[in-house]
Amino acid sequence: MTEAVRETIRLDKWLWQARFFKSRGIAAERVSSGKVRVNSQPVSKPSRNVGEGDVLTFAQGRWVRVVRIVACGDRRGPAPEARLLYDDLSDPPPKPDPAAPVNDRKGRPTGRDRRRLDAADRRLNDPLGRDS
C-alpha cells in the first residue's frame, strides 16, 4: 500500500506567498522570534514544514490572525489568488476608536498632534484602563 504524501512548504515561504508579510525575510524574522504558532504550538524555525489543514496563529499589527491552510501554493501571486490559500478563522479587525484623534494633515505631525496621538495610544495600551 502506498500512503498519500502530504504536500508541505516552509512556514516562512507560505506566509510570504499568502501575502501576510511583505517579504520572506520579515516572515522568517517573525517566526524566529517565536511569534507564530502552528496548531497551537509555538514555532521558532522558519524552515518548519506546514501543509493543508494546519492552523496558524500570529499577530499582524494589533490584530491576531488565525488561519487554516487550504493549499500550499506555487508562487506569490496577486492578492485574490493568495486569498485562496487559507480560510480566515480570526475575528474581524478591530474598529478604529472614534475618540482617537484623526490626523488629516499631510506631513509631519505638530507637537499638539503628537501629544494627542500619544494620549490615545496610552489609553489603548493600558490594560487597566487608567489614564496616565
Q: Tell me the per-residue pLDDT of 70-110, one tens digit each, with 9 for 90 and over.
A: 999 899 999 999 999 999 998 887 777 777 767 676 788 88
Domain 8-88: homologous superfamily in CATH = RNA-binding S4 domain (3.10.290.10)
Given this model, what pLDDT does residue 106 score? 75
pLDDT at 124 over 60: yes
From the CB of residue 37, how many other CB atoms can be counted at a distance below 10 Å?
14
Given this model, what pLDDT does residue 26 score? 93
Q: Distance between CA 75 and CA 83 in Å, rounded?
A: 13
Query: For 2-31, what is the mean pLDDT?
Result: 90
Helical (H) or strand (E) element with 122: helix 111-125
How crowded is the C-beta side of 46, counted as CA atoms within 13 Å? Answer: 15
Query: Does residue 16 contact residue 76 with C-beta atoms inside 8 Å?
Result: yes
**Given pLDDT bands bounded at 50, 70 and 90, which one contains residue 131?**
low
Given this model, what pLDDT does residue 1 score? 56
Question: Domain boundaries in the chain?
Answer: 8-88, 95-126
pLDDT at 16 over 90: yes
Query: For 46-61, what is the mean pLDDT?
Result: 92
